């Protein structure tokens, strides 16, 4: 009786996930607003309230104070695609943004 040999395709190797390879695995992306000399507290607070879900004007004002007092504040963390959208909307609203982290 003849023996029939079957071959399987090689198993795919798992791709490493992390910064620089287009994925971030399970790591959240951080949207960070920087302090500057041209935006008012009112503008920062209202822009944050308009863009970031769950942030009202009062919370936006708290964040604006933190930005002013510390030089920066993380205003949102989560899934990278949404972080990119919020980052762009805040930048387009005139806020000074740190690179997406």
Total-model pTM: 0.74
Q: Using the 8-state DSSP alphabet, how is residue 28 labeled?
A: P
pLDDT digits over 41-97, tens only? 999 999 999 999 999 999 999 999 999 999 999 999 999 999 999 999 999 999 999
Distance CA 89, CA 101 (A): 16
């Amino acid at each position: 009786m003849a023996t029939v040999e079957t071959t399987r395709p090689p198993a795919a190797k798992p791709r490493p996930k992390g910064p620089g390879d287009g994925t971030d695995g399970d790591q959240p992306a951080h949207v960070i607003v920087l302090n500057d000399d041209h935006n008012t507290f009112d503008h920062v607070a209202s822009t944050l309230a308009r863009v970031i879900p769950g942030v009202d004007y009062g919370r936006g004002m708290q964040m604006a104070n933190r930005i002013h007092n510390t030089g920066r504040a993380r205003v949102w963390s989560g899934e990278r695609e949404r972080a990119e959208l919020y980052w762009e909307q805040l930048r387009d609203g005139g806020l000074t943004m740190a690179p997406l982290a």
